[in-house]
Amino acid sequence: MGEIHLAEPDVAIGIIGMGDMGKMYARRLAAAGWRVNACDRADKFESLKEEFAEIKNVHIYTNGHFVSRQSDYIIYSVEAELIDTVVGLYGPSTKLNAIVGGQTSCKAPEIAAFEKHLPKDVSIISCHSLHGPNVNPRGQPLVIIPHRTSTPSALDLVTRILSCFDSAFVTLTAAEHDRITADTQAVTHAAFLSMGSAWTANHQFPWESKRWSGGIENVKINVTLRIYSNKWHVYAGLAILNPAAQKQIKQYADSVTELFKLILVKDREEFTRRIREAGEFVFGGREEGLLLRDDILDQFSLSGVPKAQRKPNSHLSLLAMVDCWHRCGIVPYDHMICSTPLFRLWLGATEYLFRQPELLDDCIRFALDDESFRSDDLEFTFAARGWSDAVSNGDFNAYRLRFEKPQSYFAPRFPDAIKLGNEMVAKILRKTEEMESRVGSRDGGRP
């Protein structure tokens, strides 16, 4: 474990945007002893002041001017779609020689906004915690992007401030960050978003059916519900604003469609060849233990269907994921430095299927010979293409409408799923930490 620096009394941290991530940062930084100046929109001033009244070191202001002019490291933690507007409003009020960064999930628009609106004396050092607000940051990747340093000590100060998260620092350029997170985040979300849309279209609650019970089905269900219980703009921003993400989401939809067509015409030879070639590209030569094991996965079922009564599944979502990685030339293990918990779970699920030959054989046979999944696979194909179109069109409102349908359909189950999902993520993360330490990290780990 790295050295934890003490808070410095003459340094103040500013947070503009006190949503889920802003609040998590404020609480942790304040608990480590740093002074935090924070704001959200003016109409939330009173409620925020009340919420943080008992929290030592957090000072709530009515707007970003008050935060900017008296803080030494200011973090913008707002919707990606709004970054240019909000930096345009408060950037000119930035304290002389301060440092500014942002938490948005796609860095090209954020850096462009900083370059456009910040005074020249201001350093730009951005960050991105690669996990949601309810995950313990300890050991999770935390990307640092030192884009413009106007004073030699600026990067040191940011490192000292963020060290209280005890995350694994990864230093990247904005362009590297966007390319790698497109591989790890955007296409992962596309798969789960498509599952949710397909289940909604088929009027299914998957945990009520024997076809989605136990094993990796628990990952599919819990992660899908976890994503739909979050805010739509988080997923919209990182997919729509990142051109590399759009390309991959399109390939995922193409992989789903092409595999589904091979199933329809029962082209066993081509279907099998394509799956095996993709599997060899992604998993060939891997000998380490599997990330996910039945005994762990079975603890996290929303359905409780006994193992003996479970039905096999065509797993089109997983087959297409590996085919997509193959077609894009992506070896997902190369991206562990920018992996999120959900990405590691998803990689674990694909690995579980592809590295157990009898399971993959069953799955291929089942996909081609058993018709009971055809209508599910058809809806999944429509859904994957629909999500790809929504992202390519770049229309945030259309994305929102598409997101909100499954969100309201699944809403009654969110409390159970989130509780179970948190336990599953925590347990599986402990296991995947071992794997990360085998793969290594860009900066050699924590500060």
Ligand X SMILES: NC(=O)C1=CN([C@@H]2O[C@H](COP(=O)(O)OP(=O)(O)OC[C@H]3O[C@@H](n4cnc5c(N)ncnc54)[C@H](OP(=O)(O)O)[C@@H]3O)[C@@H](O)[C@H]2O)C=CC1
**Quick check: 19 binds ligand X (CB under 6 A)?**
yes
Tokens encoding 378: 């058809």
| 226/402 with CB nearer ligand X | 226
Contact 185, 177 (CB under 8 A): no
Closest contact distance (angstroms) between CB of 344 and ligand X is 15
| In the complex, least distance from residue 354 CB atom to ligand X, rounded to whole angstroms | 28
Number of residues that make up the chain? 447
Give the shortest CB-343-to-ligand ENO separation in angstroms.
6
Smallest separation (angstroms) from ligand ENO to the CB of 131: 5
Cβ at position 234, least distance to ligand ENO in Å: 5
The residue from 75, 86, 164, 302 that contacts ligand X (CB under 6 A) is: 86
By the 8 A CB rule, do 38 and 67 touch?
A: yes
- Contact between 60 and ligand X (CB under 6 A)? no
Q: Give the sheet arrangement for strand 58-60, strand by strand.
A: 58-60, 35-39, 12-16, 73-76, 99-102, 123-129, 141-148, 168-171
130 binds ligand ENO (CB under 6 A): yes
Binds 19: which of ligand ENO, ligand X, none (CB < 5-8 Å by kind) = ligand X
Binders of ligand ENO in range 215-244 (CB under 6 A): 227, 234, 238
Nearer to ligand ENO, 340 or 407 (CB): 340
Residue 231's binding partner out of ligand ENO, ligand X, none, with CB under 5 to 8 Å set by partner kind: ligand X
User: Segment near ligand ENO (CB under 6 A), from 160-168, 318-326, 339-347, 385-393?
Assistant: 339-347
* Binds ligand X (CB under 6 A): choice among 15, 16, 186, 322: 16
**Footprint of ligand X on residues 20-59 (CB under 6 A)?**
20-22, 39-41
Binding mask of the shown chain, residues 251 to 290, with x at each position contacting ligand X by CB under 6 A? ----------------------------------------
332 binds ligand ENO (CB under 6 A): no
Binding mask 86-125 for ligand ENO (x = CB under 6 A): -------------------x--------------------
By the rule CB under 6 A, 132 interacts with ligand ENO: yes
Site map 96..135 versus ligand X, x via CB under 6 A: -------xxx-----------------------x--xx--
Specify burial of residue 100 (Cβ count, 10 A radius: 0-12, 13-18, 19+): buried
Mapping DSSP onto H, E and C, the string for the chain reads CCCCCCCCCCCEEEEECCCHHHHHHHHHHHHCCCEEEEECCHHHHHHHHHHCCCCCCEEECCCHHHHHHCCCEEEECCCHHHHHHHHHHHHHHCCCCCEEEECCCCHHHHHHHHHHHCCCCCEEEEEEECCCCCCCCCCCEEEEEEEECCCCCHHHHHHHHHHHHCCEEEECCHHHHHHHHHHHHHHHHHHHHHHHHHHHHCCCCHHHCHHHCCCHHHHHHHHHHHHHCCCHHHHHHHHHCCHHHHHHHHHHHHHHHHHHHHHHCCCHHHHHHHHHHHHHHHHCCCCCCCCCCHHHHHHHCCCCCCHHHCCCCCCHHHHHHHHHHHHHCCCHHHHHHHCCHHHHHHHHHHHHHHCCHHHHHHHHHHHHHCHHHHHHHHHHHHHHHHHHHHHHHCCHHHHHHHHHHHHHHHHHHHHHHHHHHHHHHHHHHHHHHHHHHHHCCCCCCCC
Q: Could you give the string, one character per residue 223-242, with x where binding to ligand X holds by CB under 6 A and - elsewhere? A: -------xx--x--x-----
| Segment contacting ligand X by CB under 6 A, of 19-27, 294-302, 312-320, 368-376 | 19-27
By CB under 6 A, the residues from 259 to 318 that bind ligand ENO are: none
Residue 183 interacts, among ligand X, ligand ENO, none and using kind-specific CB cut-offs from 5 to 8 Å, with none
User: Residues in contact with ligand X, total (CB under 6 A)?
Assistant: 28
Binding site for ligand ENO (CB under 6 A): 105, 130-132, 185, 227, 234, 238, 340-342
Binding site for ligand X (CB under 6 A): 16-22, 39-41, 64, 77-80, 82, 86, 89, 103-105, 129, 132-133, 230-231, 234, 237
